[in-house]
Amino acid sequence: MTMDPLIQLIDVRKRFGTQEVLKGVNLAIYAGKTTVIVGESGKGKSLILKHILGLVRPDGGTVLVFGKDINAIGRKELKEIRSYFGVLFQNAALFDSMNVFDNVALPLRERTKRSEADIKKIVGETLALMDMTDSDEKYPAQLSGGMRKRVGLARALVLNPKVVFFDEPTTGLDVAKSNEIYRVFYRTQAKLGYTAVIVSHDVPKIFKLADYVALLHDGVVQDCLTPEDFQTSTNDIIRDFVEKTMGHIYDSEQMEATP
- Tell me which residues touch other proteins (CB under 8 A): 50, 53-55, 79-80, 82-83, 85, 87, 89-91, 93-96, 106-107, 110-111, 155, 165
Work out the widest C-alpha separation in the chain, in whole angstroms.
64
Nearer to other proteins, 163 or 238 (CB): 163
Tell the smallest beta-carbon distance from residue 255 to other proteins (Å).
Answer: 38
How far apart are alpha carbons 213 and 207 in whole angstroms?
7
Ordered alpha helix ranges (H), the chain = 45-53, 75-82, 100-111, 116-129, 145-157, 175-192, 227-231, 236-242, 248-257
Taking the least distance from each CB to other proteins, the nearer of 167 and 202 is 167
Handedness of CA 129, 132, 134, 139 (dihedral sign): negative
Residue 232 burial (10 A CB sphere; 0-12, 13-18, 19+): exposed
- CA 14: distance to chain centroid? 20
Q: Of 89 and 207, which CB lies nearer to other proteins in the complex structure?
A: 89
Shortest distance, CB of residue 138 to other proteins, whole angstroms? 18
Q: Do the beta carbons of residue 22 and residue 9 sit within 8 Å?
A: no
In the complex, minimum distance from the CB of residue 129 to other proteins, in angstroms, rounded to a whole number: 18
Let me know: does 149 contact 88? Beta carbons within 8 Å.
yes
State in angstroms the smallest separation of the CB of 93 from other proteins: 4
Nearer to other proteins, 150 or 217 (CB): 150
* Minimum CB–partner distance for residue 158 and other proteins (Å): 9
Query: Which residue's CB is nearer to other proteins, number 30 or number 89?
Result: 89
- Residue number with CB closer to other proteins (80 or 125): 80
- Which of 150, 143, 149 shows the shortest CA–CA distance to 99? 143
Encoded amino acid at 230, one letter: F
Please state the closest distance from residue 153 (CB atom) to other proteins, in A. Answer: 12
